[in-house]
Structure 1
Amino acid sequence: MQARVALIALWLITGLWANAARGADLTLGVSEGTSGGLDHGRVIAKYGPLAEVLGKALGRKVQVVFAREFSALEEGLRSGRFDLAMARPSDYPARAILEHGYQFVASARPEGQCLIVVREDDPATELAQLKGRRWVLPETVSYMSKFCAAELRDRDLALKNEKVSYVREQGAVVFYLQQRFSDVGGIASYSGAARDLGKARLRVLHRSVAQPYFPLVAHGRIGADQVKAMQAELSALPQNEPGRALLKGIGIEAFDTSTGTRLKALPGWLES
C-alpha cells in the first residue's frame, strides 16, 4: 500500500514538473504608479517587447498583467501571483524582496531622486536657507513625499518642524509654487513636472541621493540561473538597435543589475 501511495505521489509530482516544463505562461506584473495614465491594452503593447526578452531568457512565454491600482500590485506580490514584477514606486518591489520571497533582477537607469525646487527668482542657494519657509509636497502617504522627507532628515531639516502643504499630484506642487501659495516644493526627478521646470520658471536648488528606480523582481520559484539569464539579456539591450528601441519605449536608458543591496535597504531608509 505504501509503495502504491509513493508511486502515485511520484506520478503527481512528475506530472506537475512536466506541465511546468511544457511552459505554462509566466506573468509580468507592471505598475507605473499614479503617473502612468495608461489602460491595460496600451500597457501590454508598451511592455510586450520586454516580456519577450524575459521570455527568451526563461524559455517560457511571459504575459504582461497591468496592476492599475496599488492594491492590485500589493496583492499580486503578497500572494505570489506575479512571477515577475516591474513597478514604481520602488518601495513595493523592495518590500516584495524583504517580505514576500521575491529576488532582485534589475532596476532602471537613470535612478530616482527627490528634487527640491524653488522659483527662479528665489534668493536661496542652499537647504539651510529653506528652514521656516512654506513647503509643498505630494500627499503624505506617497513614496516621493517619504523620499523627500528622508533626504531632508539626513540633511538636518525636519519637515515636522516646517509649515507643509500636501497635495495629491506633483503637478499641483508646481502650481502652488507658481501661484506663490508655497515657497519650496519636492518632486520626483522622473516626473512630468520635473521635465517642465524651465517652462514653469522654477529651478532645482537641491538633488537628493539617488535610489534604485522602477525595479524588476522575480519570485523565488524562478531559479538563480534563470535570474542570471534575464540579467544578461537586459544588460545587453543598449548594444543593439531593437534593444535601444525597447528601452526608449518604456522610457528608461538601461537596466542596472548591481543595485539589489541598495534596493533592499530602501524601506528602512524611508522609515528610519
Structure 2
Amino acid sequence: MTTVRMFQLLCLSAFLSCLLLPASMSHAQAQPQMPPQAQQLVLVVSEGTSGGLDHAQAIAKYQDLANVIGGALNSKVRVVFAREFATLENGMKEGRFDFVMARPSDYPARGMRDSGYRYVANAKPAGQCLIVVPQDSPVKTLADARGRRFVMPEQVSYMARFCRAELRDQGIKLAAEDVKYVREQAAVSFYLNNKLADVGGIASYSGPARKLEQEGLSILHGSVPQPYFPLVAHRRFDAAQIKAVQGELESLAGRPQGVEILKRIGIAGFGTDGEGAMKDLLVWLEK
C-alpha cells in the first residue's frame, strides 16, 4: 500500500469517528451546563389558614423579598405559593424547595428537624400566645383563670398547641378545664364579648390582637416569645451562603426600599438569632 493511500485511509477513519460520536457528547460540548449560581431557585411561601392570597397576589407580595435573597446568592429566585399544608410539608420532605418561609412556625421547624433544612431568619416581632379577658372581667391573674370557661382556636391548630404549652408551663392543664374550641380567632373575641366564655387565647399577630381595645379586651398573660414566620433553606446551601442572605435580610429595615418590602409583607424586620428557639420549638410544643 502506498504512503498516499495509507494517509487517505487514516483521514477517512478520523472523519467517520467524528460522525459517530454520541449525540449527547456533542450536545454537551455545544451546550455547557449553567453554573449553579445562574440556576433559578424557588422560595415557597405559606401564610397558613389565615392567608387569603392567590398565587398572583403572593408573587406581588413576596417577589421583592425573593429578589433580595437572589441578590445575595447571585441567582434568580421565583416565588411559589403553597396554599395546602400537605404541599408544604411534602415538598420539604422531598427536598424540592430551596427556601421556605411559612407560618405557622412548626412547619419550618419540622423541615429543620426531619428534612435537614437550615435556619436562616425569622420575622420580627416574635409570636406569642395572648391570654385575654374582657376588660371588666373579675379574672385578674392566671391563678384566677382556673375553673373558668376557656375559648381557644381550633384544637389541632398551632396556636391552640402554643397556648396549651404555655398554660401547661404556668400550671394550668387545659385538658382539665372547660374549653370551647373555635375555628377562627375572631370567634374568640365574640365568645368573650358575649359572655359565652371567660378566658381566651389568641395569637399576638392575629387580627383580634391588633384591635384588643376596640374589642373591649385586655391581656391577662403573654406567653414566652417564639419565632414567627421563619425562613429556612435547603441543606445544600453552605454557611457562607446562609450568612450572605442573613446580612441582606437584617439590613432591610435600615433602607427605604427595604422598609417598603417589610411593610408589604406585614413585618417589622428580620432577626437571625432564633436558630436555637426553632430547634427547641417542637420539643416545647410536644412536651
TM-score with structure 1 length normalisation? Answer: 0.92
The AA in structure 2 aligned to 1:82 is: F
* Structure 1 residue 20 displacement after superposition: 4.2
* Structure 1 residue 69 displacement after superposition: 1.4
Which of 102, 108, 113 lines up with 2:128 in the alignment? Answer: 113
* Structure 1 residue 197 displacement after superposition: 1.4
* Structure 1 residue 155 displacement after superposition: 0.3
The AA in structure 2 aligned to 1:33 is: G
Which of 16, 25, 29 lines up with 2:44 in the alignment? Answer: 29
Which of 123, 146, 151 lines up with 2:161 in the alignment? Answer: 146
CA RMSD in angstroms comes to 1.7
Which of 193, 197, 220 lines up with 2:208 in the alignment? Answer: 193
Please say if residues 37 and 73 of structure 2, whose CA atoms lie closer than 8 Å, have aligned partners that are also in contact: no
Q: Aligned with 1:147: secondary structure?
A: helix
Aligned match of 1:266: 281
Give the 3 Å change call, closer, same or farther, for CA 22–84 of structure 1 in structure 2.
closer
**Residue-pair matches, total:** 261
Give the 3 Å change call, closer, same or farther, for CA 20–76 of structure 1 in structure 2.
farther
Larger radius of gyration: 2
Give the 3 Å change call, closer, same or farther, for CA 235–133 of structure 1 in structure 2.
same
Q: Percent identity?
A: 56
* Structure 1 residue 238 displacement after superposition: 1.2
The AA in structure 2 aligned to 1:166 is: Y
Aligned match of 2:237: 222
Give the 3 Å change call, closer, same or farther, for CA 164–59 of structure 1 in structure 2.
same
Give 5+ residue unaligned stretches, structure 1: 1-7
* Structure 1 residue 111 displacement after superposition: 0.2
TM-score with structure 2 length normalisation? Answer: 0.88
The AA in structure 2 aligned to 1:126 is: T
* Structure 1 residue 21 displacement after superposition: 2.8
Please say if residues 37 and 74 of structure 2, whose CA atoms lie closer than 8 Å, have aligned partners that are also in contact: no
Please say if residues 130 and 223 of structure 2, whose CA atoms lie closer than 8 Å, have aligned partners that are also in contact: yes
Tell me, yes or no, if structure 1 residue 65 matches structure 2 residue 76.
Answer: no
Q: Aligned with 1:64: secondary structure?
A: strand
Aligned match of 2:258: 243
Provide the rounded CA distance (Å) in 2 between the counterparts of 1:226 and 1:47.
Answer: 20
Which of 40, 61, 67 lines up with 1:46 in the alignment? Answer: 61
Provide the rounded CA distance (Å) in 2 between the counterparts of 1:250 and 1:133.
Answer: 37
Provide the rounded CA distance (Å) in 1 between the counterparts of 2:220 and 2:239.
Answer: 43
Q: Aligned with 2:139: secondary structure?
A: coil
Give the 3 Å change call, closer, same or farther, for CA 183–92 of structure 1 in structure 2.
same
Which of 135, 139, 142 lines up with 1:124 in the alignment? Answer: 139
Give 5+ residue unaligned stretches, structure 2: 1-21
Provide the rounded CA distance (Å) in 2 between the counterparts of 1:22 and 1:87.
Answer: 24
* Structure 1 residue 19 displacement after superposition: 3.0
Q: How does 1:75-94 map to 2 (within 5 A)?
A: 75-94=90-109
Please say if residues 252 and 262 of structure 2, whose CA atoms lie closer than 8 Å, have aligned partners that are also in contact: yes
Provide the rounded CA distance (Å) in 1 between the counterparts of 2:176 and 2:167.
Answer: 12
